[in-house]
Amino acid sequence: MTVTAPHPQPPGQADLERAFALQRDYRWTAKTSSAEHRIALLRKLREAVLRNANATRDALFQDLRKPAEQPMMDEVAVVLHDIDHAVEHLAQWMHPVPVEPRSGSRGDTARVVIQYEARGVVLLFGAWNFPFQLVLAPLVPVLAAGNTAIVKPNEMAPATSALVATILREVFDEQHVAVFEGGVDLANQLLELPVDHIFFTGSPAVGKLVMAAAAGHLASVTLELGGKCPAIIDGTTDLDVAVAYVAAGKTYNAGQVCLSPDYVLIRRDLRDAFVDRYMRWIDTHLYSDGTFNSSAMSAMVDVRNQARVMSYVDEAVRKGATLRGRRGADEDARSIEPVVLLDVPSDASVLREEIFGPVLPVLTWDDTAGLTEHVRAGDKPLAMYIYSSDQNFVSEVLAGTSSGGVTVNGWADHFREPNAPFGGVGSSGMGSYHGVHGFLELSHARTVFVNT
């Protein structure tokens, strides 16, 4: 089945203002809705996601050429899990939380509770690298917390954007969830609406624009951004295991993952052994008889991003870096063959910009102080990966650095944990979601002090 993405007529300002006016009124109804009502809506969304699972796979292949099994794992399954978790726990999350009042004065007879109430109208921007998951997964806590939502899927994944729009229009009334398709002009129009909260997933550069727009009407924000996530290796664990995790994370979705290991920091004497084993992993998993199997890895989202990543490689080599692997790029397939860069000059773009592609710079360190200093010299990353069985080393790295989250001896496991918050810090974002933390993020904690 081939999904054909229509070219939607861009909505006019009147369309946006009409939808916003409907939601501004309906937000009071949504706010006071029961757990049972919200659960019913989430289950209705779940049924639609399941019903469109095959169409989702086809749309994601058309947009990103994701291998057939990948959309079910990293797009559909994540959304279903988030819905199921919210359905199971929502009644508990919504229950007012009693607080022990201070002693003395009138507090001796007072009753104090924290009530979690909806923020109101939420503007939700999707991302192109996971264009199904990163719209519907954030929508789950938006709805669970009793908000309304104006949703913009990402135009760089047009087939998936069209499918998401169809699903949301089938499941929800416009006064509760409205969806609009379009590009940058539409995004700018939407940012002019005086919504109550903005949820954005994307680059730090655009995140700054979103935050500036939110400041115009004092909307709260959740920004899920990115950054240069380091993979740190000290040699106390099995090197092959570290190689497998780093390679899987670097090639998953062609490296177009905000949680992808952006570069490796490895003890100097282990560098060559790591690179040899990494290239062997690449050859085993992505090549057949010496020929790159582009279908085993997602495509770059477009030729512009393909050219951007290749320009990083070319610039680094011109400046003296050593290339391991083949500098292969097929414009028709939008593919890039995974490579390693060694001895990269510090001013090369590949060390300054988030790569978002299957290119791995490998840097070295001699002592922990130098290692942590290098990480601290850049912006705080969304994730950090540490491969070590030395708890003192792990503790020293954690104490000397900051990041949105950390996985030790694995890849992105902290993202997959529903009972822990996921989010960035500093330039990698603000706010967090997943499980109860998403419900809290999309709620206002309202203190109610009752004198009795």
The residues assigned a catalytic role are 224, 258
CA distance 378 to 401: 10
Q: Output phi, psi for 310, to 5 deg.
A: -65, -30
CA distances from 3 to 54, 181, 302 (A): 10, 16, 18
Is 181 in a helix, a strand, or coil? coil
**β-pairing verdict for 220-224 and 197-201:** parallel
CA separation for the pair 144, 132 (Å, rounded): 19
Query: Cα 428 from chain centroid?
Result: 10
**CB atoms inside a 10 Å sphere around CB 1:** 9
Residue type for 397, please? V
Q: Can you tell me the distance from the alpha carbon of 292 to that of 59, in angstroms, rounded to the nearest whole number?
A: 24
Residue 146, classed as helix, strand or coil, is: coil
Closest CA to 202 of 258, 149, 162, 244: 258
Query: CA nearest 282: which of 254, 248, 312?
Result: 248
Residue 236: which H helix or E strand, with range?
Answer: none
Task: Please answer whether residues 122 and 195 qualify as being in contact, where contact means their C-beta atoms are separated by less than 8 angstroms.
Answer: yes
CB neighbours of residue 291 within 10 Å: 8
Q: How far apart are the first and last CA of the chain?
A: 65
